Amino acid sequence: MASPRAALPPGLIVRTGKFVWNTMWHTMMSQMAPRSTSGDYTRPQSAFRGRDISPEPHRHYLIVGMSCPWAHRTLITRALKGLQATVDVITVYPSTDEGRWLFDLNQADVPFAECRSLPEFYRRAQSDYVGRATVPVLGDRQTQTIINNESADIIELLNHEFEPFATGPDLYPEALRPTIDQLNEQIYATVNNGVYRCGFAQTQAAYDQAVSELFATLDQLDDRLATQRYLCGAALTLADVRLFTTLIRFDVAYHGIFKCNRRRIADYPHLSGYLADIYQLPGIADTCDIEAVKRDYFGNLFPLNPGGIVPIGPGWEGLKAPHGREQL
């Protein structure tokens, strides 16, 4: 009778598995999330920064992914300005296997209808384009061009350039611009991009710095909102739009998959009420898709969640409760 094959020592199996997984993880992360020499996530710059708009109904369109916070900014601004009948929306969805945004070809109004993916769309708009194909996109049907793919620019364009068709308030008033710009700079670095710096950090030191800066800013914002309804006072501005799309994803996604788990937004007395306040404004809830957020963060970021298991909670039911912030 043959003797049983000797088993490999468990230690060797563990060490080999860790080496293989760590090597693959760093390789995948370097493609998904470019890093600095210190392991800090470095977000690439947007390539299309045009501002030449000729406002006409249905001439311009937004390409968005419903889970993406940067695209969500544009949907909220469109809703607040009342531009639903002027600027069209085309949705894309991320492919788990291909790692890129795909069009739903059942949508009848997709420009370049023969394009299956967003990278193909970018190359049709600019044949020599070799960069990332990201959302949101502000496009022009008449010229068949991509005007802009930087969300910070697009929400300013929606706020100002489409004013002849707008019914909503000015979200970037001249008198408040210095304050809005200052807030945007801080919030982008430590909160909007800060959650990604936590989730995509490739060293402990990079993560520790990012998470400390994130919660230091959230603490400051909670204090700021203790005495005023919105970031700049009584009126909602683009600074609030930019913060909201990160906050609404925080407890659902960033707290878990990005390791932003020092506190939840629900644990902040003023930030949590502020989040509910904006969510309950007319048209805002219609731009929010919790199932897409959970599915795409947990199901598509393979290096961060290789099992692809989507957690069951939390939900957004609490955002429908009375918040009392109108008294401010």
SS3 49: strand
Alpha carbons 241 and 182: distance in angstroms, whole number:
15
Strands 88-94, 60-65: pairing kind: parallel
Dihedral, 36, 41, 47, 48 alpha carbons, nearest 10: -150
Q: Is 144 left (phi over 0), alpha (psi -120 to 50) or beta?
A: left
* Interatomic CA distance for residues 310 and 297, integer angstroms: 9
Helix, strand, coil % in the chain, rounded to nearest 5: 50, 10, 45
**Residue among 68, 115, 198, 232 flagged as catalytic:** 68
Residue 117 three-state SS: strand
The answer to whether 100 and 119 are in contact (CB under 8 A) is yes
List, in order, residues 6 or more apart from 204 with CB less than 8 Å away: none
Distance, in Å, from the CA atom of 125 to the CA atom of 28, rounded to the nearest integer, reads 28
DSSP string, 261-272: -S--GGG-HHHH
**Contact indicator for 237, 177 with CB cutoff of 8 Å:** no
Q: Contact 283/80 with Cβ under 8 angstroms? A: yes
- H/E run at residue 152: helix 151-160
Let me know if 196 is a catalytic residue: yes
Count CB-CB contacts under 10 A for residue 216.
12
Our answer to whether residue 260 is catalytic in this structure is no
Query: Which residue type sits at 298?
Result: F
Q: Which of 143, 141, 123 is nearest to 133 (CA)?
A: 123
Q: Which residues are annotated as a binding site?
A: 101, 132-135, 150-151
Q: Which of 93, 172, 188, 196 is catalytic?
A: 196
Query: What residues form the annotated binding site for glutathione?
Result: 101, 132-135, 150-151
Residues assigned a catalytic role? 68, 196
